[in-house]
Amino acid sequence: VSKFQLIESTLREGEQFSNAFFSTEKKIEIAKALDDFGVDYIELTSPVASEQSRADCEAICKLGLKAKILTHIRCHMDDARVAVETGVDGVDVVIGTSSFLREYSHGKDMTYITNAAVEVIEFVKSHGIEIRFSSEDSFRSDIVDLLNIYKTVDKIGVNRVGIADTVGGANPRQVYDLVRTLKSVVHCDIECHFHNDTGCAIANAYTALEAGAKLIDVSVLGIGERNGITPLGGLMARMIAADREYVLSKYKLHKLRDLENLVAEAVQVNIPFNNPITGFCAFTHKAGIHSKAILANPSTYEILNPSDFGLTRYIHFAHRLTGWNAIKTRVDQLNLHLSDTQVKEVTAKIKKLADIRQLNIDDVDSIIKDYHADVQTPVV
């Protein structure tokens, strides 16, 4: 799974998110932040989507970013002619191959699709830029049709072929099988795109890499059509647990939170409480047993190290599950001195009150301070 690359699609798939409207300035700000984070590719909305989309695509190409700039088009010469004039480093072409899309969307058969693909690919290649060919709704397409068209485009010399779980219904085992099979028939790199309708977008991405795919489409917070695609942050969490060196060497993980806040604000959503890495309690430890072990060695209950992301862990001690080790740490933080026996005693008081009502830090602090004052000045 190691040498994976990211195709960051916040400015393409993400624009298909219900709440998204990105002004030119916002797109530029997001593109720069993504580039700074270290994504390999930035994918932009088709220049034929609207006049402003084309102008914005040209403007982002002129920024001189390190990331390669891609635009995403239908498998059609009308789109390709406009795309190659925008200044992009590559074009991602997609066409629906499942019977659903062939019947209810574009209405074309496989021969038509193949001919269109060949024409568009040769045209884009003749402009000396990268080309990716992808089949929409790959998992509900006929496997023979799929492999045939991938073989054809691989022979012409595409840079990558893509698999898309457009409806988010694929499971990791199906992903593994399809990527493996595809890998045995093409020479080019394989890119994968997973929607999250059934909650498998991160797992599917990881499995695709295990099966030999090289590139994964992501967006910040996973924004996209319906409930979106593989989120950048969630995939970073998954990948750093698998290959920390590579992920740290390549991506500026301490910028993740700012990047997510930037996009969350732009599309008016909150960061989910249970988001990997940046959810408000992602590094908060609560139970007394957990807290004790975390204080001794954080790895006991943490697969990710918060400092890799510029974040800190937090021991939540103001509740009835607390233990004396956590309270002792709080006593130290308050610069007070109590013996272990005394800490155990004050912990008992805290737990007693916490059984009656929800506590906050101030409640705990005043119990500790009162107790400390009492033991310092014994009554005569």
Between 22 and 283, name the residue whose CB sits nearer to ligand HCA: 22
Among 92, 275, 343, 347, interactor with ligand HCA by CB under 6 A: 92
With CB cut-offs between 5 and 8 Å by kind, which of Cu ion, ligand HCA, none does residue 94 bind? ligand HCA
Closest CA to 347 of 361, 368, 363, 366: 368
Among 45, 141, 166, 204, interactor with ligand HCA by CB under 6 A: 166
Q: Residue written as tokens 């909650």?
A: 199
Helix (H, G, I), strand (E, B) or coil at 77: helix
Q: Which stretch binds ligand HCA (CB under 6 A): 62-70, 106-114, 162-170, 173-181?
A: 162-170
Give the DSSP H/E element, type plus range, for residue 201.
helix 201-210
* 12-51 footprint of Cu ion as x/- string (CB under 5 A): -x--------------------------------------
In whole angstroms, what is the distance from residue 57 CA to residue 70 CA? 9
In 54-119, beta strands by DSSP E? 68-74, 90-96
Question: How many residues are listed for the chain in this entry?
Answer: 380
Question: Does residue 225 belong to the site contacting ligand HCA (CB under 6 A)?
Answer: yes
**Number of C-beta neighbours around residue 104 at 10 A:** 10
Between 72 and 238, name the residue whose CB sits nearer to ligand HCA: 72
Please name the residues in contact with 21: beta carbons below 8 A apart, sequence gap of 6 or more.
none
With CB cut-offs between 5 and 8 Å by kind, which of ligand HCA, Cu ion, none does residue 325 bind? none
Between 71 and 322, name the residue whose CB sits nearer to ligand HCA: 71
* Catalytic (active-site) positions: 290
Question: Does residue 134 belong to the site contacting ligand HCA (CB under 6 A)?
Answer: yes
- Helix runs in 315-360, H state only: 324-333, 340-354
Do residues 162 and 141 touch, judged by C-beta distance below 8 A? no
Between 195 and 238, name the residue whose CB sits nearer to ligand HCA: 195
- Interface ranges with Cu ion (CB under 5 A): 13
- Interface ranges with ligand HCA (CB under 6 A): 13, 16, 72, 92, 94, 134, 136, 162, 164, 166, 193, 195, 225
